[in-house]
Amino acid sequence: MDSLSGPGHNAILAQPDPAPSKSRKTGRRTSRPQDTPDDAYDAPFARAPDKRKVATLASLTRKLSAYLPAADVRRVKDAYRFADEAHLGQFRTSGEPYISHPIAVAEICTGWRLDTESLMAALLHDVLEDSRATKQDLAERFGPQVADLVDGLSKLDRIEFTSKEQQQAESFRKMLLAMARDVRVILSKLADRVHNMRTLDAVDPAKRRRIALETTEIYAPIANRLGLREFYLELLDLSFRARYPHRYQVLRKAMLAARGNRREVLSRILETIRKNLGDAKLPGQVYGREKALWGIYLKMLSRNLSFTQVLDIYGFRILVDTVAECYVALGVLHATFKPVPGRFKDYIAIPKVNGYQSLHTTLVGPFGTPIEFQIRTHEMQRVADSGVAAHWLYKAENENFTELQKKTHQWLQSLLDIQTQTGDSMEFIEHVKVDLFPDAVYVFTPRGQIRSLPRGATVVDFAYSVHTEVGNQAVAARVNQKPVPLRSELHNGDVVEVITDPNSKPNPAWLGFVRTGKSRAEIRYALRTLKHSESVELGRRLFEQALSLLRISAAEIDTATLERGARDAGAKTVEELYEDIGLGKRLAPVIARTIALLLNNRPAAATLIVPEPAPIMVHGTEGSAVQYSSCCYPLPGDAVIGHLRGGHGLVLHRADCESATRQRVRDAERWVEIEWADGMKGLHRCGIEVHVSDERGVLGKVAAEVAASEANIVHIAMEEADERLAMLNFIVQVRDRVHLAQLIRNLRKFAEVRRVNRT
């Protein structure tokens, strides 16, 4: 049995994904799996539990008539009739007629005063999945705009996928991209999810937990990201109840008991604040609020607290008319109670990324209890409740965007940018999840522009937020005028300057610390592109070398012959053929012979005995297309040979490498002659073995000499040879064979060093 008295709960473990349950609606799924978000804190005071009243057309019509003209109400009713016919004979798991669900979703949308097309789409959102109707049918009857909205809300049930996870990820991607084009898609989807969560009790426990986890990870964060805070908090609390029903009930009872115990204290604070605001002639409304149960639960887990140790479960909100009055009210509060140092946040001057604005301060109330206050205008309150729904993004082009619209539009555009960089739906969803952080840090460019990033973001995330090329070419950075590593975490108020080099490329290690989905997508796209271009270039060079064996010049071959040769080899294009050769998936000599057979004046049998071609030149800048074997660590100046490994490109070995000698006997056709190009730059790995007297400080002396010789230590291991001797194994980076020889000479000068060998 769950307990809430102390630490030890693993609150956010993923639940197993059971097979979808069937309902009585002709065997189809009913409570549809949907998206997922993260964590939260502030909630409305004394939230009502569930709303189990079954929605009807009459109640929907009353709400529609409150703000839509009669002609539009008739259009919505027409959509209702179509949906009612499509869902005829279908029932929800709870036993209610299935049409009650679309009506309830449309009713939630009326709370945002969505337009006619959105309400029609809300009523029709399950029609494509659960009936024989097609998108074309909807477009002909209700118009293309409604059909597009419904299509964006529909899952990909009729396509075969390798796994349920892939199907779900592809459906999420489809919905999010539809949302990026029209934000009404996600508003309808969130309304759908809210109603499903309110009626989740009828679903079996395993599926209930899966849907709740999905809601916590994707849908709630999306609601928060769009500024729909009321629905964000409701989704989190409903998910908490579905995932941990016993813990929810215990915590809810504790909250109700605490509310009664602290009523006198809260009433006293409320009266004091109202009196002091009145004395300052400041018209304002003061409301009590309490923390969301999910937020309290997470706080208990993260800080190992019992419920009685969570003191700040209540707070107050003050609503005034103007921004100036917000700051006056703040002064009144600080004059009434002492503020807690470091607990003041000004989200009016620097709004959150979802447009949220407010002043937050924590004061020490009576009996030493910390009390949080939020101060905002009525307009800020409207935006906090309705978010992007308060201002439409699909308004007329000649109207100006609000600041919230601009931020939302930028985020939606970033989804499209991420989509262009990722081909896999699972990877796309991973990037989007990373981007759905509820908190943010605010940093400045050297010119004073503010940029908001997820908490924990690094310099590389900042660089990609400025421009893709700034991120790709970043080599160093300064934060607050001080040099810092690119992986440095940023904090509020940091001034960040990124130093770039046009010849620089993204480092795969960056993926280990970047926090934004855009950064991850851009880095992976750049690495894939670099590998592709490098492999194509290497494959072209290998192909030309193989042609020279047949006394054929690449310049003599026309494009049509090359393309035909590529098709005969099973490649779609010549570029794909070169890439496969560069990656070692195809052998250049075999392709060259295929091309030779296509040339009328080159009998294949006569072209096979020819002089040796020029070897492949390695410049050291080929990136992932050319790799250096770790069995022998070749250096510029060594005699080398290349091995084409399938999918790995060209792997260099020293000519005297024992491993290479054995492999060359087995598949000689995959080995090519290699030479180092002039003017090699950069550092290359090499192994050295240093035998030393086992004395105090000898390791430090050797390491210091390696650094003084302009080499870099990558790895070090130490083992005892006997009682008096020790063996130090180093992996070092040196420029070339000459640099290594100089390093070895420098190490041999020490009296403690007995022997130095290259390994």
Domains and CATH numbers, the chain: 42-243 (1.10.3210.10), 255-389 (3.30.460.10), 403-516 (3.10.20.30), 525-676 (no CATH), 684-758 (3.30.70.260)
Distance separating alpha carbons of residues 516 and 462, to the nearest angstrom: 9
3-state secondary structure string across 431-487: HHHHHCCCCEEEEECCCCCEEEEECCCEHHHHHHHHCHHHHHCEEEEEECCEEECCC
As beta bridge partners, residue 474 has 500
Tokens in use for 274?
């109202």
Q: What is the pLDDT of residue 410?
A: 58
Q: What is the pLDDT of residue 71?
A: 92
Task: Please state the pTM of the whole predicted model.
Answer: 0.51
The count of other CB atoms within 10 Å of the CB of residue 483 is 11
DSSP, collapsed to helix, strand or coil, labels residue 712 as strand
Q: What is the pLDDT of residue 79?
A: 92
Q: What is the pLDDT of residue 359?
A: 92
Task: Kindly list the catalytic residues.
Answer: 129-130
Q: What is the pLDDT of residue 409?
A: 54
DSSP, collapsed to helix, strand or coil, labels residue 492 as coil
Q: Which residues of 452-473 are buried (b: 16+ CB within 10 A; e: fewer)?
A: bbbeebbbbbbbbbeebebbbb
Q: What is the pLDDT of residue 710?
A: 84
Q: What is the pLDDT of residue 611?
A: 44
Mean pLDDT, 10 residues at a time, over the chain (759 residues)?
Answer: 34 33 38 33 41 73 89 92 90 87 91 86 88 88 88 56 54 58 77 89 86 84 77 89 90 80 76 88 82 82 78 81 92 90 85 80 81 88 66 41 54 56 52 52 79 82 88 87 86 85 80 80 76 74 76 77 76 79 72 71 43 61 67 85 70 84 76 76 82 82 84 80 79 86 88 86
